[in-house]
Amino acid sequence: MLKRTRDIQKALSESGYRITQPRQAVIEVILRARRSLSPEEILARARKIDPGVGLATVYRTLDVLHAEGYLERVRIGNKGYTLTCTEKTLHFHLICERCRTVTELQSDRFSRDLMAQLRAAGFEARKHAIEIIGRCAKCQPSE
């Protein structure tokens, strides 16, 4: 994770963004997360690393990471959540609406077929993730 943090910090710095201690804390929290986090959850975790982190810094950092392609936003219900995603090939995000875990799923055959259909339609895809929202096995009611 440390190498990934440094790679992101270097890329952001080269793009003209300042890498402050609070911004570093937010980046670390996002990279450590095992599930999607709301901005408020990111703030609470980042403050454990740097008590000076503010909510505005969280939102600005999320905006920068999104603009630079290091983060995708996922909306579940009427709450915004985030997840890290740097996968460039077509893949699927299976998002549990209850516990908010995100599982990335690859499907080469489906991906090739869908991308071929997009090209045939003259469509150029910029994003390559499909979000499927439901309940994970752990959160489904037992029958």
Residue 18 belongs to some domain of the structure: yes
If asked whether residues 53 and 67 sit together in one domain, one would say yes
At residue 122, the pLDDT reads 94
Nearest Cα to 106, choosing from 83, 126, 90?
A: 90
pTM for this predicted structure: 0.69
Instruction: Quickly tell me which residue has 């003209």 as its tokens.
Output: 16
Q: How far apart (Å, rounded) are the C-alpha atoms in residues 7 and 2? A: 9
Question: Could you tell me which residues come within 8 angstroms of residue 77 by beta carbon, excluding any fewer than 6 positions away?
Answer: 97
pLDDT of residue 85: 64
Together in a domain, 60 and 39:
yes
CATH number of the domain residue 120 falls in: 3.30.1490.190
Please report, in angstroms and rounded to a whole number, the separation of the first and last CA atoms in the chain: 39
Per-run averaged pLDDT (10 residues), the chain, 143 residues = 75 89 92 82 95 95 87 69 64 82 77 86 80 88 66
**What range defines the domain where residue 16 resides?**
2-83
Q: Judge if 67 and 15 occupy the same domain.
A: yes
The b-or-e profile of 130-140 (16+ CB within 10 A means b, else e) is eeeeeebeeee
Q: What is the CATH number of the domain that holds 64?
A: 1.10.10.10
* Structural domain count, the chain: 2
Strand segments (E) across the chain: 71-76, 79-84, 91-96, 102-105, 129-134
Please report the pLDDT score of residue 121 as a whole number.
95
Q: Is residue 45 part of a domain?
A: yes
- State residue 55's pLDDT score: 95
pLDDT score at 5: 77
Residue 96's closest CA among 105, 87, 109, 88? 105
Sheet containing 91-96: give its strands across. Answer: 102-105, 91-96, 129-134
